[in-house]
Amino acid sequence: MPETVHILGGGLAGMSCAADLARSGTPVRVLEAYPQVGGLAQSFTFDGFVCDFGPHRFHSNRAQINDHAKVALAGNVHDRIRLSRIFLFKRFFHYPLRAGNVITNLPKTVLVRAFVDYWIMWVRQKIKPIPDDSFESYIRKRFGDTLYRIFFGTYTEKTWQIPPSQISPDWASQRITLLNLWDVVKKTLTRPKDVPRTYVSKFIYPREGGIGSIAKGYQAIVEKGGGTVVTSAPVRKMKVAGHRIVAVVYEKDGKLVEEKVAKVVSTLPVNRLVEMLDPPAPPAILQAAKDLKHKAIVFVYLLLDKEQVTPDHWVYLPEKHLTIHRISEFKNFAESMCPKGKTLVCAEITCSEGDERWSRTDADLIDVSIRDLATIGLIKKEEVRGSTIRRVPYAYPLYDLAYRKNLQTLLGHLRPITNLISTGRQGLFRYGNMDHSIAMGARVAKTLATGQGPDHGEVATEDESFD
């Protein structure tokens, strides 16, 4: 009988791994802190509305990963055509950018400056190239100062709450690879064969139940295969002896439970994982864990007495006078998400756990969101018939200039532990998409079940644009 694999975290990486292990006959036990599986890709219901943690677009360039998710959805799936835009200068701009739309909507003085700045930068690059040493330099050299200033730089600083000059170029290369202003023009006029991920318009989404239906589908597969999924069970401690994890301590119903373990797959935030080790890691390692940071998000859900706010799946709001930085409308993903004649907008406010934004009252955050959307004319205050809030502390890995060094320090400390694999978006501190998480979990499962398999650490390391 194969040894039981304990999987810490029931997000898509953990659940895809668990499902594949269960199908292979390997005993598996999942420990999840939330009341339900899904992690950042979970859904919940509120007053007849189905809500996701922000917008999710599932697409993979690999057919086997698309099929992996579709198996979990068991027919509960339909195709969607993406529409996402930027609201700026009281107008909508398509994102990815389209040359005709930019030319039509940008104020003419701004448009001229944008193209002049781009060609000035192009000439400068030929004479004295700017190094890709930060997000700011990466974008300025590809789009020029004007577009950097009015959108990319402003939006990035608003979202991450640190200057773009302090953000690693790694994040830029994953968001807008191979794109520049001239590419925008070319891609408007031609249909290139190799389309960057950002430009892919078709995606799949559950017809019912929200994006969390994927993880719930994996849970059904796990349980059918004899595995167990324990929810509302946050992990508190990992006991280490020699070079092995020997026990996991988690909280359930207000009590600490200790379980012996043989093999462990962790999808927990890698810095929190290191901080849970018992005996504790050395001070230098713990400092690296402290210095590896995440951005949190407050999701504000506004239930509206109207048919639709916009046709978009999500809209970026880069202007500094607005607190919220993005909204999504789940009805545009699937009609079943909202009661007939109603809609719901999810407004996102980035912050850090415990800071001023995070600590504001629910009523204050709701008022701010309503005021922002009313200010730009997307909703009226009297249209709001209800609201709720969710706070997520580990939403985005923060790619500051020191993140790579800190991450390598932590992964290096974990590497000698022979029965532990840290994977997934949080476990590898990697800004990936849902399909990347599923791919990581599937690769880990194959390695554990067969003793060999493709390296899960290679997923989402290529230069391509992520959502």
pLDDT band at 231 (very low <50, low <70, confident <90, very high): very high
End-to-end CA, the chain? 41
| The predicted structure's pLDDT at residue 182 | 55
For 223-293, list the strands marked E by DSSP. Answer: 228-230, 235-241, 244-252, 255-260, 263-266, 277-278
Bond prior to 96 in cis (omega within 30° of 0): yes
What is the mean pLDDT of the segment spanning 400-407?
96
% of the chain with per-residue pLDDT over 90: 74
| The predicted structure's pLDDT at residue 188 | 55
Average the pLDDT over each of 120-124, 269-273, 343-347 and give the range with the smallest value: 120-124
| The predicted structure's pLDDT at residue 115 | 84
Asked whether the predicted pLDDT for residue 465 surpasses 70, the reply is no
Which residue type occupies 281? A
Side-chain half-sphere exposure of 184, counting CA atoms within 13 A = 20
Asked whether the predicted pLDDT for residue 412 surpasses 60, the reply is yes
Residue for token digits 């009805």?
Answer: 331
% of the chain with per-residue pLDDT over 70: 92
Asked whether the predicted pLDDT for residue 238 surpasses 50, the reply is yes
Sign of CA dihedral 343, 347, 353, 355: negative
- The CA–CA distances, whole Å, from 225 to 13, 228, 230 equal 18, 9, 15
Average the pLDDT over each of 1-15, 67-81, 166-180, 305-319 and give the range with the smallest value: 166-180
Asked whether the predicted pLDDT for residue 466 surpasses 70, the reply is no
The domains spanning 5-40+61-81+205-292+400-458 and 294-397 adopt the same CATH topology: no
Burial of 389 (0-12, 13-18, 19+ CB in 10 A): middle
Please, what is the average pLDDT of the chain? 91
d(CA 19, CA 13): 10
- What does the longest C-alpha to C-alpha distance in the chain come to? 72
What is the mean pLDDT of the segment spanning 104-121?
87
For 437-459, how does the pLDDT look when each residue is reduced to its tens digit (9 = 90+)?
999 999 999 999 888 777 787 78
| The predicted structure's pLDDT at residue 463 | 45
What is the mean pLDDT of the segment spanning 144-171?
90
| The predicted structure's pLDDT at residue 467 | 37
pLDDT band at 122 (very low <50, low <70, confident <90, very high): confident
| The predicted structure's pLDDT at residue 338 | 97
DSSP bridge partners of 43: 52
| The predicted structure's pLDDT at residue 48 | 96
d(CA 438, CA 231): 20
What is the mean pLDDT of the segment spanning 242-269?
97
d(CA 326, CA 225): 40
Q: What CATH fold (topology level) applies to the domain 294-397?
A: Polyamine Oxidase; Chain A, domain 2 (3.90.660)
The 3-state DSSP class for residue 35 equals coil
Best CA proximity match to 229, nearest among 34, 424, 426, 439:
34
For 47-56, how does the pLDDT look when each residue is reduced to its tens digit (9 = 90+)?
999 999 999 9
Asked whether the predicted pLDDT for residue 410 surpasses 80, the reply is yes
pTM: 0.91
Structural domain 5-40+61-81+205-292+400-458, CATH architecture: 3-Layer(bba) Sandwich (3.50)
Residue for token digits 């790694």?
Answer: 170
d(CA 213, CA 58): 12
| The predicted structure's pLDDT at residue 187 | 56
| The predicted structure's pLDDT at residue 342 | 97
The CA dihedral of 370, 375, 377, 380, to the nearest 10 degrees, is 40
Asked whether the predicted pLDDT for residue 1 surpasses 60, the reply is yes
Strand 343-351 and strand 244-252: pairing?
unpaired
| The predicted structure's pLDDT at residue 172 | 78
Asked whether the predicted pLDDT for residue 332 surpasses 60, the reply is yes
pLDDT band at 41 (very low <50, low <70, confident <90, very high): very high
Asked whether the predicted pLDDT for residue 415 surpasses 50, the reply is yes
* Residue 167 per-residue DSSP state: B
Q: Please state the domain extents for the chain.
A: 5-40+61-81+205-292+400-458, 94-199, 294-397
Which residue type occupies 346? C
d(CA 81, CA 333): 9
Average the pLDDT over each of 1-15, 79-93, 107-121 and give the range with the smallest value: 107-121
pLDDT band at 368 (very low <50, low <70, confident <90, very high): very high
For 171-196, how does the pLDDT look when each residue is reduced to its tens digit (9 = 90+)?
877 766 445 665 666 555 555 555 55
d(CA 396, CA 393): 9
| The predicted structure's pLDDT at residue 268 | 98
Strand 202-205 and strand 78-81: pairing?
antiparallel
What is the mean pLDDT of the segment spanning 411-440?
95
Average the pLDDT over each of 90-94, 245-249, 448-452 and give the range with the smallest value: 448-452
| The predicted structure's pLDDT at residue 186 | 55
Burial of 417 (0-12, 13-18, 19+ CB in 10 A): middle
Structure tokens at 380: 């009226």
Structure tokens at 185: 């023009």
Asked whether the predicted pLDDT for residue 79 surpasses 60, the reply is yes
